[in-house]
């Protein structure tokens, strides 16, 4: 299974800027064997999807609601995303949890809705600096996964990608060492196997998300339990993002 390198643009770029980005990116990664996705603002989905064409780049969204329709001002449903050609959707990003009230329960609801409609979720988990310093990272991560996977069947979990994003390394310029990242992604893999079985755990890709960039991508991706990256700031410039996608190549 190829690594997944997914860009998370957060609240950046207009539709025009987004289309220009894709035009610049396509020739830079045309020889890559990695799976590449761009998770862009809702307002950019149409222009990015159109510009992607047959490039093989996958279209992703940054969040979704768990119900199909109704009086939920400002929300976006799975059907709306599918209508625009979206394949991946980020669920439970730390910024959604901290700033906008996502809980393990709402993350679980969103996962169920995404899977029901055939979207591929990228589930985000990760600890704060305080949690790591207290020595309870393992228990905290397990709790997030247990809550997110509540009532999910084996075949449903097998469709999920998990992104380990240490909150203390998001947008701070700090990065977990390859050994730290490998240790925690290993915990995620083993705990998924404990909850289900090895066959399911083997199908769940675990990404690293926390200031991955061109200079550290290769070392991080050499960890056996890391199968790609969820890229924030370094995904906003085509050359920077392409350097991660093409990691290890001269």
Q: Given the residues 35, 51, 93, 247, select the one marked as catalytic.
A: 93
Q: Given the residues 95, 127, 165, 247, select the one marked as catalytic.
A: 165
Q: Is 117 a catalytic residue?
A: no
Residues 248/122/59/154 CA torsion (nearest 10 deg): 110
Q: Is 93 a catalytic residue?
A: yes
Active site amino acids: 93, 165
């Amino acid at each position: 299974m190829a690594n997944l390198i997914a860009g998370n643009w957060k609240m950046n770029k207009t539709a025009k800027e987004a289309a220009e980005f894709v035009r610049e990116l396509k020739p830079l990664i045309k020889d890559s064997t990695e799976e590449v996705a761009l998770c862009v603002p809702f307002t950019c989905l149409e222009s990015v999807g159109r510009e992607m064409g047959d490039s093989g780049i996958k279209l992703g969204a940054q969040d979704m609601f768990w119900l199909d329709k109704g009086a939920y001002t400002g929300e976006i449903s799975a059907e709306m995303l599918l209508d625009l050609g979206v394949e991946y959707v980020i669920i439970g990003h730390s910024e959604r949890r901290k700033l906008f009230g996502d809980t393990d329960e709402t993350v679980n609801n969103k996962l169920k809705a995404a899977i029901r409609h055939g979207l591929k979720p990228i589930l985000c988990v990760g600890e704060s600096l305080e949690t790591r310093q207290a020595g309870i990272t393992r228990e905290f991560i397990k709790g997030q996964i247990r809550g997110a996977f509540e009532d999910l069947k084996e075949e449903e979990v097998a469709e999920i990608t998990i992104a380990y994003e240490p909150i203390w390394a998001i947008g701070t310029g700090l990065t977990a060492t390859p050994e730290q990242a490998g240790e925690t992604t290993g915990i995620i893999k083993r705990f998924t196997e404990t909850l289900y079985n090895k066959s399911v755990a083997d199908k769940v890709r675990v990404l690293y998300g926390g200031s991955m960039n061109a200079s550290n991508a290769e070392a991080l991706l050499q960890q056996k339990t890391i199968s790609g990256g969820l890229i924030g700031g370094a995904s906003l410039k085509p050359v920077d993002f392409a350097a991660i996608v093409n990691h290890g190549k001269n």
